[in-house]
């Protein structure tokens, strides 16, 4: 008899397998950046966040640490109790500034981090109440929208939903709008969204962030091939793929590709073969950049009113507060 955890792991793996095969049989070939974050990928992203070129995390951290009072004031609104929900909380480094300030202000709120990683949720449930005495934490492990529904049904307190780190950028513009509309559907008028959006800026600055000299971004991308080798029993020769980062200042699309350096055939799961032509590309990730105006339009089209803009000192990153109309 298999236990439930094994069955869950198998289902997840089945999804991973299906997505990889579909993506690599597609034209053009593509893989999903949501699979970047296995244990090695998590570590590489940590490394990336502390390298010189990758600016988004530091910019948003500056906003959270320097403009905490203003942010908290907007979120506390009329002083009524609320649920502070964070989609993809990670280790909650940025939100911790806000949480501590809200506690000092004696705000009446629950913190509900949502993450698809069971590990992260257990970690947050255990550590946050110790680090921040008095904080009421209920971590929710699962799909964002399933868990938003759960949160909506669990209490009729007003909701503040945080989606930080420019994670919205990992969707093409139309999908990002759909995503914001979907969030709106799970909220009531007056509820708020605090969203982190990376802004268009000097193209060299953007490109350098996704093409760091130390080659961390390159390893971050190639690691997905390693992960497919490990978890789906494949035989990618990592040395036969190059990292090709691009940024188009006109559209704001920052895209990463892997390029096959020779004709080659890869076998996945011992049976499925995928052929790569020399110079063929695999589309790996988009990190979309917006203007402030485009961010405002997205808010409006999704059924929100922009209430506040918070910028870092370089005006490279925006944390916007939206109110459900």
Which residue ranges make up the site for ligand AVJ (CB under 6 A)?
Answer: 48, 56, 165-167, 169-170, 210, 217, 220, 285, 287
Report the distance separating Cα 82 and Cα 159, nearest Å.
Answer: 6
CB atoms within 10 A of CB 150: 15
Query: Quick one: 210 or 322, whose CB is closer to ligand AVJ?
Result: 210
CA angle 288, 294, 296 (to 5 degrees): 125
Query: Quick one: 53 or 280, whose CB is closer to ligand AVJ?
Result: 53
Q: Which residue is nearest to ligand AVJ (CB)?
A: 287
Print the SS3 string covering 200-266: CCCHHHHHHHCCCCCCHHHHHHHHHHHHHHHHCCECCCHHHEEEEEEEECCCCEEEEEEEECCCEEE
- Measured CA to CA in angstroms, residue 80 lies from 77, 159, 160, 256 at distances of 7, 11, 12, 44
Report the distance separating Cα 310 and Cα 71, nearest Å.
Answer: 8
Closest contact distance (angstroms) between CB of 169 and ligand AVJ is 5
Residue 186 gets the label, from left (phi > 0), alpha (psi -120 to 50) or beta, of alpha
**Contact by Cβ (8 Å): 92, 118:** no
Closest contact distance (angstroms) between CB of 251 and ligand AVJ is 15
Query: Quick one: 108 or 248, whose CB is closer to ligand AVJ?
Result: 248
Query: Quick one: 24 or 224, whose CB is closer to ligand AVJ?
Result: 224
Query: Quick one: 245 or 324, whose CB is closer to ligand AVJ?
Result: 245
Closest CA to 167 of 147, 146, 197: 197
DSSP H/E element including 97: helix 93-104
Query: Quick one: 206 or 266, whose CB is closer to ligand AVJ?
Result: 206
Query: Quick one: 208 or 299, whose CB is closer to ligand AVJ?
Result: 208
Query: Quick one: 99 or 254, whose CB is closer to ligand AVJ?
Result: 254
Closest contact distance (angstroms) between CB of 4 and ligand AVJ is 30
Closest contact distance (angstroms) between CB of 221 and ligand AVJ is 8
Reduced to 3 states (helix: H, G, I; strand: E, B; else coil), residue 63 is helix
**Contact by Cβ (8 Å): 325, 78:** no
Structure tokens at 283: 């589309």
Closest contact distance (angstroms) between CB of 136 and ligand AVJ is 27
What is the number of helices (H) and of strands (E) in the chain? 11, 13
Closest contact distance (angstroms) between CB of 199 and ligand AVJ is 12
Query: Quick one: 111 or 210, whose CB is closer to ligand AVJ?
Result: 210
Closest contact distance (angstroms) between CB of 119 and ligand AVJ is 17
Closest contact distance (angstroms) between CB of 48 and ligand AVJ is 5
Closest contact distance (angstroms) between CB of 217 and ligand AVJ is 5
């Amino acid at each position: 008899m298999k236990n439930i955890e094994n069955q869950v792991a198998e289902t997840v793996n089945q999804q991973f397998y299906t997505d990889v095969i579909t993506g690599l049989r597609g034209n053009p070939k593509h893989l999903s950046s949501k699979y970047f974050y296995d244990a090695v990928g998590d570590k590489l992203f940590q490394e990336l966040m502390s390298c010189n070129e990758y600016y988004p995390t530091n910019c948003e951290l500056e906003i959270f640490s320097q403009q905490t009072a203003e942010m908290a004031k907007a979120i506390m609104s009329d002083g009524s109790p609320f649920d502070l929900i964070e989609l993809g909380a990670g280790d909650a480094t940025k939100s911790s500034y806000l949480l501590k300030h809200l506690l000092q202000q004696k705000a009446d709120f629950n913190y509900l981090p949502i993450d698809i990683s069971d590990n992260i949720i257990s970690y947050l449930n255990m550590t946050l109440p110790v680090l921040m005495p008095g904080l009421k934490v209920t971590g929710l492990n699962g799909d964002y929208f399933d868990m938003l529904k759960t949160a909506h049904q669990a209490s009729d307190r007003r909701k503040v939903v945080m989606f930080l780190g420019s994670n919205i950028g990992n969707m093409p513009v139309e999908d990002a709008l759909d995503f914001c509309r979907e969030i709106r559907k799970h909220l009531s008028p007056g509820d708020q969204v605090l969203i982190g959006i990376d802004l268009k800026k000097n193209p060299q600055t953007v490109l350098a962030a996704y093409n760091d000299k130390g080659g961390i971004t390159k390893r971050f991308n190639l690691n997905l091939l390693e992960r497919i080798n490990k978890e789906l029993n494949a035989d990618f020769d990592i040395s036969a793929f190059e990292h090709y980062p691009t940024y188009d200042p006109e559209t704001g699309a920052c895209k990463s590709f892997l390029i096959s350096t020779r004709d080659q055939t890869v076998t996945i799961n011992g049976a499925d073969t995928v052929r790569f032509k020399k110079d063929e590309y695999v589309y790996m990730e988009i990190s979309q950049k917006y203007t402030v105006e485009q961010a405002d339009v997205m808010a409006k089209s999704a059924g929100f009113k922009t209430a506040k803009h918070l910028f870092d000192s370089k005006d490279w990153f925006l944390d916007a507060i939206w109110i459900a109309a």
